[in-house]
Structure 1
Amino acid sequence: MSDVKDTAQKEAGRKEGGKRSIVSSAHLVSERAAETSAFEYGLYIASNAFNRWIQRCMSAAGYPDLSALDVMVLHTVNHRAKDKKLADICFVLNIEDSHTVNYALKKLTRLGLVAGDKRGKEIFYATTKDGQAACATYREVREDCLVSAFSAFGGDKAGELNEQIGEAADLLRALSGLYDQAARSASSL
């Protein structure tokens, strides 16, 4: 058994032509989908970088004490200026643990960025004027720091880069469905 494990780990990350890819866990590499481990490693790194980015961007916008989840909840509540229930916010962000989103909503309410309006048994949340201003300032910082960097990175091919980013977004949404289905399958084992 250890010979099989050793061989798998030595071959981990190898692609056709002998080129190696960076993988997160050599012990998870499969002959059927070696790229999945490389993708997951990239996702680990990208998600951590994205979370750090949105926290720092919001900090530059004047709100240094917000977590990545707080920022995501604020933008979700602000989206299309439509009041949203806790369940709707959780659904949009694909978050099962509503307690974490509820905590973020309470924090945003204490900061005056979000306000809740009780209607029957439900509370509907909307951004306040301060919340809308925070989102607008976040957008300005995003344009200055991130969007301009994409333009500089893409140079003459900035439009092509934007198209690739759009394709990557479509792929991530599709893969989230596959990971959700796999999670449901794993729960039934």
Structure 2
Amino acid sequence: MSEKKKQPIVSSSHLVSEKSIELSELEYGLIIANNAFNRWIERCMTSSGMPDLNPTDILILHNVNHRARAKKVADICFNLNIEDTHTATYSLRKLAKLGLVQTEKQGKENFFSTSERGKALCLRYREIREDCLVDALGVLGTGNQEIGELAKLLRSLSGLYDQAARAAASL
């Protein structure tokens, strides 16, 4: 009995490399995981009481709230791997207009921190995240250690993709 060869699950068959079919499978996984993650954070934020934020706004709000330290735009962009500072600046203005972040000038630099309203929103988001997502992790049968290892791998892969982007830009 001949065994049927398993077809890779990819988004773009024309990109499949004989050297690494698995990379194409990973990229498809990243695409659908990214879209699911973006949909999740938007819906979680809507349930938290703030329906008008896009994924970038949400990630920036959480980053500004991180460790309760004021941050410069450059630091936020570095932490979130955002290349275009204008994107971050636009989100920060939007968040400030909604009363979620505040700006403090220190010398020539603007520093951003969460307002009391922004902190409360982040805490509400955390509660919903715990109820809807963290508690559901057990269903996967995946342990926290495995998730931590996957996180390390994804951070390493982001460095490879950044390096490849620089190489492609120089062609």
- Stretches of structure 2 that go unaligned for 5 or more consecutive residues are none
Q: Give the equivalent residue in structure 2 for 1:69.
A: 56
Count of aligned pairs:
169
- Residues 90-145 of structure 1 show CA distances to partners (whole Å, capped at 9, x for unaligned) of 01000111111101100110111100001111100000111111000000000000
From 41, 54, 67, give the equivalent of 2:41.
54
Partner of 1:65: helix, strand, or coil? coil
Q: Does 1:178 align with 2:160?
A: yes
Q: Which residue of 1 aligns with 2:97?
A: 110
1:164 CA drift (Å): 1.4
Partner of 1:12: none
Normalising by structure 1, we get a TM-score of 0.86
Shift of 1:165: 1.1
Whose Rg is larger?
Answer: 1
Bigger fraction of residues in helix: 1
Measured in 2, the distance between the counterparts of 1:32 and 1:17 equals: 21
Quick one: which amino acid aligns to residue 165 of structure 1? I
**Matches of 1:117 and 1:34 in 2, distance apart?**
50
- SS for the counterpart of 1:64 is coil
Stretches of 4+ moved more than 4 A in 1? none
How many Å separate the matches in 2 of 1:100 and 1:45?
A: 23
RMSD of aligned alpha carbons: 1.3
* Identity value in percent: 62
2:68 maps to which of 74, 81, 87:
81
Rounded to whole Å, the distance in 1 between the matches of 2:135 and 2:129 is 8
Say if 2:121 is the partner of 1:134.
yes
Q: How does 1:9-28 map to 2 (within 5 A)?
A: 18-28=5-15
